[in-house]
Amino acid sequence: MVTPLFSITPPTYTSLPSESLRLLWNDEFDAPTGTPPDPAKWGYDLGGKGWGNQEYQYYTDAPENAAQDGNRNLVITARETSEQERDRLGRWYGPARYSSARLLTQGKFSFTHGVVEARIRVPYGPGIWPALWMLGEDFGPVLWPHCGEIDIMENIGREPDIVHGTIHGPGYCGGDGIGGPLALPQGQALTDDFHLFAIEWLAGQIRRA
């Protein structure tokens, strides 16, 4: 039986029968303003090594870059660093002009097959690339792309109305990943409001919900 992951209210969009739905994991970010993400649920990637994408920012675990806002939101902030921060943080190709946060559940939670959803309001602007994605639990011992990757949502800053969903694996990774874009109706932008991004991950099939 499939045991999906879903939020407090079971999703109505899923093709799975309601009797198979069971909550496995959730975070409603309902802590007071300034509270970091729950360390029992979230960890951080740290550093400014470019992460295979020539990223300018240095990822930190500081509340200035990731904290709850008191309104049931986790706010991830990309910010320009001070001169003192740049000298302290460094970066793989020079001083760290920007800092941000990169959160993950690695070592804290994993599952196979189910429904995954997140309610997100994305930022906007050149150089911004917010994403929600999953890597295989064996990432580390088995390097990418052999561990597999499911990109639930990626938004490129220069494309304010388009979201991308892609899967990667050996022989179909990077620009050869399997997936495609989804565009909002003309005149709408993802940054205008919160949107629910979700997939059904079933045996032999991944559906964009």
Q: Which residues are catalytic?
A: 149, 154
Handedness of CA 145, 151, 157, 159 (dihedral sign): positive
Supply the DSSP symbol for 49: S
The Cα–Cα gap between 89 and 5 comes to: 37
Three-class DSSP category at 184: coil
Contact 115, 138 (CB under 8 A): no
The Cα–Cα gap between 46 and 58 comes to: 7
DSSP secondary structure, 188-209, as one string: --GGGS-EEEEEEEETTEEEE-
